Amino acid sequence: MTTSHPSQNHLLAALPAAEFEPLLAHLERVELAVGDTLYQPGSQLQHAYFPTSAIVSLHYVMASGASAESAGVGNEGVVGVSLFMGGDTTSSSAVVQTAGQAYRMASATLRQEFKRAGLFQRLLLRYTQALMTQMAQTTVCTRHHSVEQQLCRWLLLTLDRLPSNQLLMTQELIAHMLGVRREGITEAAGRLQRAGVISYRRGHIAVQDRAGLEARACECYAVVKTELERLLCDVRYRQDGNDTPTDAASK
């Protein structure tokens, strides 16, 4: 596996060198495998995770054992927002959906850096707002939209966090994420494949027609994507040695 760098996480990449470089000593690269559990409901959170190539699913498990995803976190964000929002525990689980790498930071260090009230704090707060939008939109989507629309939304959000159009994911796992019956995912995926939007073989999905996928998705995907871009659009990522971000929130 190719070794990642912390700057492959968009939040960390948005920091100027003066704020980014001191954090490097506190970031530990970790390999995350599918199914790894980062947080259990009610457990004490020891680390925050900044994914670079991994994707983590935040989901709630009912007493019956049924569960559904409330949000996904990839290289656009951080897992563990409750650490800087005033809590040490969370009522949701955080489970690795797509294998890859992340950088973890000890909870005490994250709180200390957050309290400095610099750009890092503002980025974390604005990302948290975007995450809340994703959670709220997921709730609306599961209540009012078809399984096919939910599947399209989920595929698009996952694709946005990956470097290619290939997903290693079983229909059973997708059904678990969406909180629907596996048969519903099988039928929806079959329709998308017959339309030439995706190709599917066991454990592997390739998106052949992204525009077609977007056309079949409900408005929830666009709402989540637009909100993330709106909240972080005023930050110019470090490129070509330019370490000065344009941060409207600081003006």
Three-state secondary structure call for residue 14? coil
Three-state secondary structure call for residue 240? coil
Interval 146-168: pLDDT, tens = 999 999 999 999 999 999 999 98
Nearest to 153 by CA among 54, 223, 103, 64: 223
Q: Which two tokens stand for residue 103?
A: 């950088």
Interval 163-208: pLDDT, tens = 999 998 889 989 988 989 999 999 999 999 999 999 998 889 999 9
205 φ/ψ angles, rounded to the nearest 5 degrees: -125, 130
Report the pLDDT value the prediction gives residue 28, as an integer from 0 to 100: 97
Report the pLDDT value the prediction gives residue 60, as an integer from 0 to 100: 84
Q: Mean of the per-residue pLDDT values for the chain?
A: 89
